[in-house]
A and B are shown apart, each in its own frame.
Chain A
Amino acid sequence: MPDLVAAPPPTPAPPSTAPLRELYAAHAADLFRLAYRLTNSAADAEDVVQDVFVGLPEALRGYEERGRFGAWLRTLTARTALSQLRRRARRREVSLDSALPPTAQGHAEAVVSQITLQRALSLLPETLRAVLVLRELEGYSHAEIAEVLGIGVSASQVRLHRAHEKLRTILRSQ
Chain B
Amino acid sequence: MRMHLPTRILSRFVADELPPDDRVQVARHLAVCHHCRQTAQELRATVAALREAPVPELPGDLLERVLARRAAGERVILPTALPAPAARRAKPWLAALAAGVVLALVGSLAVFRTPDLAASASELTISPREVRAGQRIHVEYRATPKLSGEARLVLRARLATRNSTMVYEHAEVGVLARQAGGIYRGTLTLPDSVVYAAFAVEDTSGTRVDYNPAEWDLLVHGADGRPLLAALEQQTDYRDEWNTELAMETAWARTELYPDSSGGWLTLFHKQESAAQSQESRDSLNAVYGERFRTLERQYLSRPRLEPGEMSWLYFFASALDDTAAARRWADRLIATYPRHIAGVQLRVFRIGDEHRGDRPQFLTALERLWDEVGSTSSQLMFTGFSHAQMAGDEAEIERWGNRLLAAEPMWRAWVTRAFAEAPGLRSQALGLLRTQLQSMDSAAPSQRPLGQSVDEYRRGLQSAKGFFLGQHGRALLADGQQQAALDTLARAVELAWSVDLQRALAEARLVVGDTSRALAAFARVAADPTTSLSFADSVRGRTGHRFQPALWAEAVAAGRQEMAAFIWAQAVDRDVRGAIRLTDPEGRVRVFEKESAGPTFVAFWSRYCPPSFMQLDQLQQLSQELSRAGVRVLSITEGERPAELGEFLKEKGYTFPALIDADHYAARAFDNRATPRYLVLDGSGRIRFDSHTLGDVIRQIFVLRESP
Contact = CB atoms under 8 A, between A and B. Distances in A.
B292 to A, nearest CB: 15
A29 B55 CA distance: 10
A51 B76 contact: yes
Contacts of B666: 94, 99
Interface residues of A, number: 73
A127 B582 contact: no
Interface stretch (B39-47, B104-112, B356-364): B39-47
A55 B55 contact: no
Contacts of B75: 54-55, 58
A37 B55 contact: yes
Nearest to B212: A90
Contact of B47 (A33, A76, A127, A136): A136
B87 A85 contact: yes
A125 B245 contact: yes
B87 A82 contact: yes
A126 B89 contact: yes
Interface stretch (B61-69, B610-618, B699-707): B61-69
Given A20-B66, A160-B11, A168-B43, A87 B121 contact: yes
A173 interface: yes
Interface string A122-163: 000111001010011100000000010111001101101110
A127 B88 CA distance: 7
A126 B85 CA distance: 12
A164 B45 CA distance: 11
Interface string A78-106: 01101101110111111000110000000
B672 interface: yes
Interface stretch (B190-198, B249-257, B380-388, B682-690): B249-257
A171 interface: yes
Contacts of B301: none
Query: Quick one: which of B14, B59, B63 has the most chain A CB within 10 A?
Result: B63
A57 B70 CA distance: 10
A89 B123 CA distance: 13
A171 B109 CA distance: 43
A170 B13 CA distance: 21
Interface in A1-20: 17, 20
A79 B79 contact: yes
Interface in B31-60: 39, 42-43, 46-47, 49-51, 53-56, 58-59
A118 B89 CA distance: 20
A168 B49 contact: no
Given A94-B669, A126-B86, A58 B77 contact: yes
A99 B670 CA distance: 14
Contacts of B49: 113, 117
A76 B76 contact: no
A150 B76 contact: no
Contacts of A98: 664
B668 interface: yes
Contacts of B669: 91-94
Nearest to B69: A54
A57 B310 CA distance: 57
A80 B74 CA distance: 17
A56 B285 CA distance: 48
A24 B86 contact: no
Contacts of A54: 66, 69-70, 74-76
A87 B11 CA distance: 30
Nearest to A21: B63
B252 A162 contact: yes
A113 B79 CA distance: 35
A20 B67 contact: yes
B83 interface: yes
A76 B79 contact: yes
Interface string B87-109: 11100000000000000000000
Interface string B656-682: 000000001110110010100000000
Given A24-B66, A33-B55, A173-B277, A168 B46 contact: yes
A32 B249 contact: no
B328 interface: no
Contacts of B84: 150
29 contacts: A17-B70, A32-B55, A32-B58, A32-B62, A42-B56, A46-B59, A50-B62, A50-B66, A50-B69, A52-B76, A57-B70, A58-B77, A58-B78, A76-B79, A76-B80, A82-B87, A83-B79, A90-B89, A90-B117, A91-B669, A126-B88, A126-B89, A130-B87, A150-B83, A150-B86, A157-B17, A165-B8, A168-B39, A173-B277
- Closest 5 CB pairs between A and B? A55-B76, A164-B11, A89-B89, A86-B87, A79-B79
Interface of A: 17, 20-21, 24, 28-29, 32-33, 36-37, 42, 45-46, 49-59, 62, 76, 79-80, 82-83, 85-87, 89-94, 98-99, 113-114, 117-118, 121, 125-127, 130, 132, 135-137, 147, 149-151, 154-155, 157-158, 160-162, 164-165, 167-169, 171-173
Given A28-B58, A33-B55, A161-B11, 17 more contacts: A20-B67, A20-B70, A50-B66, A53-B63, A54-B74, A58-B77, A83-B79, A90-B121, A93-B665, A93-B669, A127-B87, A158-B253, A158-B256, A161-B12, A164-B7, A164-B15, A168-B46
